[in-house]
């Protein structure tokens, strides 16, 4: 339950609109997707220096294809089963009511879009999309095709060469039919997620700054705020004169520099915020 002073703060922060959200893995935990750094998080079981880099993953694929396939299966299992939870739905309701002007997310799970959010800035890409490495054309990779691909990978986990040919089928060359309109430059498609050491998509970063430039409140939900450049956005918002609040199960790396921290689960606190604002979820 929000305290009286928290309810007053919610009214002050939200009722004058121009609220932007920055979300991290914590908002999707209640949808069944593990976070990265928490207990049971992905990086507890897989070393990010290997599994979050292109070079590391390529080496696991070449040397120990079965381990590679196990990682892909685990990675997609939760993503394929997840559905938007009350926190994602609350953001969609805040956008519909005109209070939220957009959500900037570090998540790749597509759940904000599935909840109905329209302005979603994806800093780290989207696991349900492939992108041409030459012309950057992005194409959706539907859940059904991912299921097919993961199942084929599982059946061929013993053979590096078979795995490569499966990837070639699901990530063909640009201009070779996949689904929807593709470019035509013959570049190779790859999963449209940002790995460690890679640049963030320039256009998305520009959209994130533009949203923050116009916001009065930046609300961070479910992020440890340890991964840059995303973690620099709350500090940028403060420099621009915005209030910065966070909703997190635990303190984040920047809690001390944030105006107010709501402590608890996003799927509980965000619906309570809707109640205070008298917005239907
Ligand atoms: P982390 O796993 O680092 O942090 C998750 C945060 O969510 C923690 O601060 C938790 O306290 C909080 N949390 C957990 N359950 C929650 C709940 N129910 N409600 C609210 N908060 C909750 O995830 P991110 O900060 O998103 O990057 O990680 C940032 C980036 O690091 C990811 O995008 C990914 C990762 O490596 C790339 O892969 C490039």
We report the CATH number of the domain holding residue 119 as: 3.40.50.1220
Same domain as 184, residue 206 = no
Residue 180 has pLDDT above 60, yes or no: no
Task: Count other Cβ atoms within 10 Å, centred on residue 211.
Answer: 22
Same domain as 276, residue 244 = yes
The residue assigned the tokens 């340890």 is 226
CA distances from 99 to 11, 22, 92, 215, 278 (A): 11, 15, 10, 10, 12
- Give the pLDDT score at 275: 97
HSE (side-chain half, CA atoms, 13 Å) at 37:
12
Output the ligand 1 site: residues, CB below 6 A: 24-26, 29-30, 35-38, 41, 52, 106, 124, 194, 222-224, 226-227, 247-250, 252, 265-266
Ligand 1 atom with the smallest distance to the CA of 124 is 39
Instruction: Determine the Cα–Cα distance for residues 257 and 245; give it in Å rounded to an integer.
Output: 10
Tell me if residue 217 falls in helix, strand or coil.
strand
In this predicted model, what pLDDT tens digit does every residue of 19-45 receive, in sequence order? 999 999 999 999 999 999 988 888 999
Residue 175 has pLDDT above 90, yes or no: no
For residue 225, what are the contacts with CB-CB under 8 A and spacing of at least 6? 24, 231, 234, 252, 253, 254
Same domain as 111, residue 230 = yes
Residue nearest to atom 8 of ligand 1 (CA): 224
Question: How many percent of the chain have pLDDT more than 90?
Answer: 88
Ligand 1 atom with the smallest distance to the CA of 43 is 36
Residue 183 has pLDDT above 90, yes or no: no
Residue where a domain terminates, one of 157, 175, 193: 193
Same domain as 265, residue 217 = yes
Answer with the residue of higher pLDDT: 28 or 281: 28
Instruction: Determine the Cα–Cα distance for residues 281 and 275; give it in Å rounded to an integer.
Output: 8
Instruction: Determine the Cα–Cα distance for residues 268 and 265; give it in Å rounded to an integer.
Output: 5
Residue where a domain terminates, one of 142, 171, 193: 193
With 0-12 CB in 10 A as exposed, 13-18 as middle and 19+ as buried, what is 180? exposed
Domain enclosing residue 150, as ranges: 34-81+129-193
Residue nearest to atom 26 of ligand 1 (CA): 24
pLDDT, mean of residues 201-223: 98
We report the CATH number of the domain holding residue 76 as: 3.30.1600
Same domain as 147, residue 91 = no
In this predicted model, what pLDDT tens digit does every residue of 133-163 receive, in sequence order? 998 889 999 999 999 999 999 999 999 999 9
Same domain as 51, residue 4 = no
Taking alpha carbons only, the member of 246, 236, 227, 231 closest to residue 209 is 236
Same domain as 115, residue 63 = no
Catalytic residue among 88, 112, 124, 158: 124
Instruction: Determine the Cα–Cα distance for residues 212 and 217; give it in Å rounded to an integer.
Output: 9
Same domain as 257, residue 208 = yes
Give the H/E segment covering residue 50.
Answer: helix 48-51
Same domain as 134, residue 46 = yes
Residue nearest to atom 30 of ligand 1 (CA): 227
Specify the pTM: 0.95
Known catalytic membership, residue 124? yes
């Amino acid at each position: 339950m929000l305290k009286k002073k928290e309810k007053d703060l919610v009214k002050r922060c939200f009722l004058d609109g121009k609220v932007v959200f920055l979300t991290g893995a914590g908002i999707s935990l209640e949808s069944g997707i593990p976070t990265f750094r928490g207990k049971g998080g992905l990086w507890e079981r897989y070393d990010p220096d290997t599994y979050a880099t292109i070079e590391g993953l390529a080496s696991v694929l070449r040397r120990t294809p079965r381990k590679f396939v196990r990682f892909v299966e685990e990675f997609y299992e939760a993503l394929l089963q997840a559905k938007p939870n009350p926190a994602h739905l609350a953001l969609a309701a805040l956008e519909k009511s005109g209070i939220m002007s957009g959500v900037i997310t570090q998540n790749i799970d597509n759940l904000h879009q599935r909840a109905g959010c329209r302005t979603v800035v994806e800093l780290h890409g989207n696991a349900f999309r492939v992108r041409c490495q030459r012309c950057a054309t992005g194409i959706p990779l539907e859940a059904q095709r991912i299921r097919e691909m993961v199942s084929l990978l599982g059946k061929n986990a013993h053979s590096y060469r078979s795995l490569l040919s499966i990837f070639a089928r699901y990530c063909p060359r640009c201009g070779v039919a996949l689904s929807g309109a593709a470019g035509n430059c013959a570049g190779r498609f790859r999963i449209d997620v940002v790995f460690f050491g890679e640049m963030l998509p320039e256009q998305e970063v520009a959209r994130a700054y533009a949203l923050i430039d116009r916001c009065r409140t930046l609300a961070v939900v479910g992020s440890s705020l340890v991964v840059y450049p995303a973690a620099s956005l709350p500090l940028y918002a403060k420099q621009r004169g915005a209030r910065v609040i966070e909703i997190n199960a635990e303190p984040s790396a920047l809690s001390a520099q944030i105006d107010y921290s709501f402590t608890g689960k996003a799927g509980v606190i965000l619906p309570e915020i809707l109640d205070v604002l008298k917005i239907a979820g």
